[in-house]
Every structure is written in structure tokens, then in C-alpha cells.
A and B are shown apart, each in its own frame.
Chain A
Amino acid sequence: MPDFSILTENWDMYIKGFFITIYTSLIGLIGSFILGTILAIFRIAPFKPFNWIGTIYIEFFRNIPLLIIAFFLFTALPTINMQLDGFQAGTLALIIYTSAFIAEAIRAGILSIPKGQTEAARSSGLTYTQTMRYIILPQAIKIVIPPLGNQFINLVKNSSILTILAAGDLMYQADLISTRTFVTFDVYIFVAIFYLVITIPLSTGVNYLEKRLARSN
């Protein structure tokens, strides 16, 4: 039985970390979705230099540790006179890293839409951009929701890298509580529960959305 006094006595710190984690996750989620969509379109656009940019970005950031991106933004940018605090550097790193995975998921979704949809739209005089916006992306998004949900859950969990940038997130608060009280096990059990409070509704929401969108077809 965990010691609940740990939770009650340090409630303020847990809540503070909880909201910082939610905050970075929300910004990360929106940012990586937008950047990921743009990158996916870069990768399939009928313009070679865009394809290269998209491919280089995705292959680079998908294949290095998130921690390196976070460290780089936090420590290397000040050398060119750009100072980011821990929260900014960590959140930006999350966006940069997660968008590479999201781009791949969205690209797969776009490519799974039959070519005839594009041909029908283009042959009616719609431009490439209009075809993407009105025909392809709305259909692709339904297919992409389950893998996107996975990426968003990963993003929430990966937000714990903010800890090493001292950005005050959930995991950071847990470390603080642990050093202060010399309790380890219980402190981390409670912090895991706080993460679950975010991720379980997220995955339930994704499942619900998936079912609802499937019905409209």
C-alpha cells in the first residue's frame, strides 16, 4: 500500500507538474500536427526539392534521440544569442521530434487514398492545393487517426524530457519530492498515475473519434 501522505503533503507540486506537462503536451500536439502535415505534403508534392527537404528532415529527426534535440536547443542556441528557457527548448524539441513521426503517418494515409480521387478532382479543374485540402486530406485523416493517437500518447510520455531542462513538469516535480523526502517508490507510483490521467482519456478519445468518423462513411 503506497503512503498517501506523500501525495497529500506534496499535492501542490504534483498539480503544478501536472499542468506543466499538460501545457507542453498541448502545444506539442498542435505544433507537431501542423508541422507534420506540412512535412507530409512536402514529401509527396510534385516538386523534387520539396521531397528532398521533407525526406532529409524526417529521416534525420526520426533517427536521433529526442534528448539530443532538447540538449541542442537548450545549450547550443545561446552560442548564437538565442536563449530558450527549459520549457521552450523542451517543447520545441518535442514538436521537432514528433512531427517527423506524424509526417510519416499522414503520408501513409494520403498515399492510401485511391489515385482516382485525385484524378477526378484535378480533371474538374481544381488545383493541387484545393485537391489536397478538400478531397485527399479529409479522407486521409480518418485513416491516420489511430497512428496519430499513438504518436500523441508518445508525445505526452516523451514530455518527461523537460525534467532534465528543469522545466518543472510532472517528472521533475517527482524527482524534487523524492530528493526532499528520501522516498522513491511511492513518489513515482503517484507520478505514473498522473500520467495515466492524461494518456488514458487521450487514447479513449482517439478510439471514440475513430468510430465516429468511420460511421460517416
Chain B
Amino acid sequence: MIEFKNVDKYFGDFQVLKNINLTIKKGEVVVIIGPSGSGKSTLLRCMNRLETISNGSLTINGVELNDKKTDINKLRRKIGMVFQHFYLYPHKTVLENIMLAPVKALGQSKEEAKKTALAYLEKVGIPDKANAYPSQLSGGQQQRVAIARGLAMHPEIMLFDEPTSALDPEMIGEVLEVMKHLAKEGMTMVVVTHEMGFAKEVADRIIFVDKGEILEDADPAEFYKEPKEERAKLFLSRILNH
């Protein structure tokens, strides 16, 4: 479904991604971890062309992402994205946030989009906030709206870029709960996160990235018990012993 072949990515002279080879199949839940500045977010952001790759090939369902002929807007409708800082539209209500892309990008009728939006709000557990503005919600609620906003497009893939990193500790659980539910329903998910519980419970694979390289591509249980790479061991010891 998502396929990286010998992908390099440079920011100026700095090489952020080095010879990335990675295949993610339909229905897989893949967690990407790695130290800060390792390139894990960049790797994720390449998957919907928020970042363009410098060399190599990156395809989604066989479509080359960086081909000039590729209709990127059409492709992005199939890929939901959730950001660390939510990025809800502050001038629109929760309902309007969720309905905007289905109406404007998919051409759904307002009634249809509203029905879908309300159904997903129900699913993420905050149907009563439909008419609130984002500033009236807690961080956890905002992130759940962001997830509902992504799901309302009926995507085939959901990308999560550190979805719980900006949340207060007591709100992390409610967001992870929604994500676990989604994973169990068979959604293809790529998640950049340090949440070990989430990775252990629902991830099919752990990708460990450091200095722009994929160092490990392992089963979560094995990875957390016994990482093969020295740098992965060091990283795990740091995030576990703080």
C-alpha cells in the first residue's frame, strides 16, 4: 500500500532520510519511534507529500507520489492526517471543522456530511461538542475532533504525527483509546509516537529510526524486550528511565 524504495531526503545540505526502504501493507499498524531529530516525522510527512523526497521512489497504492502528473489533492483525500498540535480551524465549529473537506473536496451534500460528522463525533466520544469552537475544548477533545475530521473523509490510511505529545498526561488515555479502537477495526495506520503501551497492544511493527536511517523493523513485543541495535537499546533505556 505504501512503498518507499531507496528514498533520500535533504533539507539543504543536511540529509534527513537515508536510503529508506519500507513497505506498509493494507491493514497494518506501524509505529515509528526514534530520538528527536531522527527524521521520523519527516518520514511520515513524506507519505502525503507535506515533504517531497529528494531521491528514490515512494508509491501509495502503486501511484508515484512525487510524479508531476499525480493529482496530489485526490490522493490526499484517501490519507487522513493527525498532527501533534491538532490544527483545528479556530474560526469554525467542531461540526464545520469535520464537514469542510467532505463538502469542498469530495463534493458531498451538507446533510450527508453532517450525518457523517455526527457519527464520527459519536465514535470519538464527544457528540455534545458539535457546535462548540475548538478554543472551548480541552486538548484531548481537540485531538479527538482532529481524528474525527480525518475519518470523515473515509480514508484508507491514517497518519499520526505524535498525536499525544502536546497533551496533558490525563488526556493521553482518551486519545489512545480512540486510536486503539481504530486499529482494531483494521485501519491502516502509521503512528509516530513514544507511547509504548499503544505500540505493544495494537502495533504490528515497530520501525526504529535514528539519524535518518531505519535501524530496526521489528515485532513490538520483541523490540521492547530485546532491541538488536545498540542505538535502539540506548534510546529505550533513556525513554524508560526518566
The chain A residues found within 8 Å of chain B, CB to CB, are 114, 116-117, 119-127, 130, 134-135, 138-139, 142, 216-217
A117 to chain B, nearest CB (A): 6
- B153 / chain A contacts, CB cutoff of 8 Å: 124-125
Contact in complex: B85, A125 (CB < 8 Å): no
A114 to B90, CA, bound (A): 11
- Residues of B close to A114: CB separation below 8 A: 87
Q: When the two chains form their complex, are residues B104 and A126 in contact, meaning their CB atoms are under 8 A apart?
A: yes
- Is residue B116 within 8 Å, beta carbon to beta carbon, of the partner chain? no
Residue of A nearest to B135 (CB): A217
Task: State in angstroms the CA–CA spacing of A83 and B234 once bound together.
Answer: 79
Q: How far is the CA of A139 from the CA of B146 in the complex (A)?
A: 19
Contact A120 B105 (CB under 8 A): no
A-B contact pairs, 30 of them (CB 8 A): A114-B87, A117-B87, A119-B50, A119-B87, A120-B81, A121-B100, A121-B101, A122-B50, A123-B48, A123-B79, A123-B80, A123-B81, A124-B80, A124-B150, A125-B73, A125-B76, A125-B106, A125-B153, A126-B73, A126-B100, A126-B104, A127-B105, A130-B104, A130-B105, A134-B100, A134-B104, A135-B89, A216-B91, A217-B91, A217-B133
The yes or no answer to B83 lying at the interface (CB within 8 A) is yes
Contacts of B91 in A (CB 8 A): 138-139, 142, 216-217
Q: Considering only CB atoms, which chain B residue lies closest to A216 in the complex?
A: B91
Q: In whole angstroms, how far apart are the Cα atoms of A85 and B85 in the complex?
A: 56
Complex contacts, A125 vs chain B, CB 8 Å: 73-74, 76-77, 101, 105-106, 153
CB within 8 Å for A120 and B83 given contacts A126-B105, A130-B105, A134-B100: yes
Query: Cβ of A116 and Cβ of B77 under 8 Å apart?
Result: no
A121 to B87 Cα, complex, angstroms:
9
* Other-chain residue from B77, B81, B85, B90 in contact with A217 (beta carbon distance below 8 A): B90
Once A125-B73, A125-B105 are accepted as A-B contacts, the answer to whether A120 and B89 lie under 8 Å apart by CB is yes
**Is A124 a contact of B76 with CB atoms below 8 Å?**
yes
A152 to B88, CA, bound (A): 32
Question: What is the bound-complex CA distance between A127 and B73, given in angstroms?
Answer: 6
Cβ of B149 under 8 Å from chain A: yes
| Complex contacts, B79 vs chain A, CB 8 Å | 123
Given contacts A116-B83, A122-B50, 5 further A-B contacts (CB under 8 A): A119-B87, A121-B89, A123-B79, A126-B73, A139-B89
* Residue of A120, A122, A123, A134 with highest tally of chain B CB at under 10 A: A123
